[in-house]
Structure 1
Amino acid sequence: MINAIKKHAAFGVIFTIAKALVYFTPLILADVLSTSDYGILEYALAGVGVIVNTLINLGVPGAYPYFVIREKKEKLKSGFNLHPIILLIPFVINQIAFLCFQLDVNFYLAFNISYIIANQVFYSTQLKSHEKSSYAVLLDSGIYIVLFLFFIGYRTGFFQSSITVINNFVLAYAFIYVIFGISRFIKSEKQHLTSHYRAILRFSIHLLVSTFLIFLITTSGRILVEFFFGFDEVGIYAFYFRLAAIVVMIHQIINIAYFKKIYTFSPLILDQYFYKFFIIITTLSLVIYFISPFVVSEFSNFFNDTFDTYKSIYFLLSAQMIMWIASALNSNIIDRENSAKVNNVFFLILISIVGFLLYIFNGKFSFTELIYIHFTSIYIACMIQYYTLSKKNIYFKKSALTLTVIFLLESGYYFLFF
């Protein structure tokens, strides 16, 4: 009993510190960098970097809990040791492209960050699968810890506030994963390595497509904003996205602490948990939105300068977080039920339709309207996930109904007051 309390207390402390850095570091950097440089960092960090990570990771992280927890195929674990070496290939290509072909620094930074995130996700998923939650939290927060060290260096006068200096910090951190990956591979069991890795890829290829598509739907906001507007607007979007994402921290606690149970509990039990969770985080998200002008204004000049103009963006992003969390929880269920292949077809249709409409009406929608379109797309993606699961007689009726009510109420508030 005492050991369990100590374990949970230690996790609570580590989680609080690590996630505080994840949450606050981008917000304080908004006051340090120019709006354009901040937009470039966020574009690389949570836009291109996240989406490219899903491609180079080949769906392998999602295959680990499926084979180890769900299917209990322990013999395939050795195949995962080859993955860090595979991840090195795009990283090396990025260095060559930057040094020899003058690759734009914005994309160079984004691809280096994608390599880091790919490693963080790969190792973190393994740790969560074995209930090593504290280590997983630290690993997930790694890139933000590095950015916080840059901030400390800037405040103490060691570094200038520029995207170039940040780029050097990111590169140094990336090389830690290079060294660790090579060293782990050298020490690993080599027998049947490639055959096991091929077996993993045969399953994970569907996860690759699924993960890429859901990330394209849920995290493409920065990319869409940059494409239709510019890096200054990306900076605005990213700041309020980060501010709204405080409720995501709660989801991350659930996802880390109960990761293994998500792969073992029955859908009926999960539906009961999920719909109540959606109600709680929606209420919390709205409360935070309404009290933030009285709190955030005390420490953020960026907030004071932009809130009156962009409070509609902040509201929509607060609403979007609920759908984002729902899609992430649903993705775990899609993976565990091996339904990614069917789900991908519907996601492709959704992306094609939304992409076509944005192209046709380019120049005819505002910054705020683009965010609402994105919010709606994520809600539809959640409904697609529920529909896909229903094809296997797996139903999340209460969760789907709750999300629909939340979507309609928040849409109604947006149209009435903005």
Structure 2
Amino acid sequence: MTTFSFTRLSDRLNLLHTTTGTIIVHLLLTGGLAGLLFGCSFINLDDHRNSLDLKVQQAVDKVRLELEKSLGNTVPSMNVYLQTPTHTYFASSVPAGRQPLTPTTVYRFASVTKNFTATAIMKMHQDGWLDYKALITGLIPGSNQPYVPASPDWDIPNKSLITIEQLLQHSAGVYDTDNDTIPELNSSYVNYYLSRDSTHQFTVEEMLKPIIDKKTRVSSYFDPGNGYHYSNTGYVILSRIIERVYSLKSGQPKTFADYLSDHITGPASRVPLPISFPYQAGDIQLPQPNVASLIRRASGRVDGFGPVNMSAHVGEGNGYGTMAALNTYVRSLMRGENVLQSQTVKLLQTEVSTANPSYGLGTSYRINLGYGHNGAIAGYLTTVTYDPASEVSLVAMLPLWDLTQGPNGDTTFEKCFTAMYDAAYAARAALGYPGKP
């Protein structure tokens, strides 16, 4: 793990005590009793704020310790960044001897990327560049080019029936070649090739090949619009749609990352953010300061993940950034203060799949946390949310997958995933907001 410059809570409190004492003496010498009364008022307000900071820290500490007890092993850190209408709070709970993370520690936020992809699609819709209700075989407005190529390597099942909206909702039925098993490979397509060559450069067409190939026994999960099944591959298709539309509108070849940088997160965007979406197989390093994740396996093997090939995850899980940046993103977006107008944000939240009313257009909903998305990749777990009812935004992150118990490690993975949410709820509850339902 990278070493960070960090002032512990006890040090901050000691510093506050020393500084406040100096202020009181100064006021006594220069302002008499009136100065003392003013000084006391200042102390009470500051003490109240520090009391809340401490409550949030203690709440997150408790969740981490409970997870350690349940797993029978250490938890490297449990982290929550929370913003209310008046203040921000950050807690990084770590075992003794470890350096806490900071709000600007970089990590991979995985499927939270899907919300950025949805934002990009809806920004294009808002600008008249595409129609999110259109079939993917339809024509890009003002052109004779379809949203997806008409070539044989794009001849996926039900292609002529799938809409952009259904891809956003996971209701298109597109088989997920990243997460789900290809019988002939006894593995997902992505894991199969990465296990043989960690530097392999994936393409969208390659990710679709197992769905099209008649030799494999995979097809769609259901007819478009007739169900819900989470599909990373569906979002890879969306990344190509964004690329094709942007290339057409700009008159030169553009990538998914280009559009995100130029219109959603980069210096020229409405709310610039230090967030990136790598797509080259060799672009594997995280900038400093960063935190490597940890994966524990039933075999006893422990992997620490930092460098990761993200070329298979474009549009669905290739983003990295900081907790502070993600909080700014979700808060500004869901409040209609970012690139999407309020009515477009409402579409993100309410245009839900009939089979899963808690998932809209790349946006999920969780009671007492609100709208956003979660993510899990290479040992990182995170959730990014904004709750309109309380005006509280929140980012929770756990850089650990424990796969030591249950079939394929499912039991202990679920414990980690649940604990990450428990920390989010506990932090809210510590400030007096509704917690875990």
TM exceeding 0.5: no
Task: Give the structure-2-normalised TM-score.
Answer: 0.24
**Structure with more of its chain in helix, by fraction:** 1
**Structure with more of its chain in strand, by fraction:** 2
Task: Give the structure-1-normalised TM-score.
Answer: 0.25
- Largest Rg, 1 or 2: 2
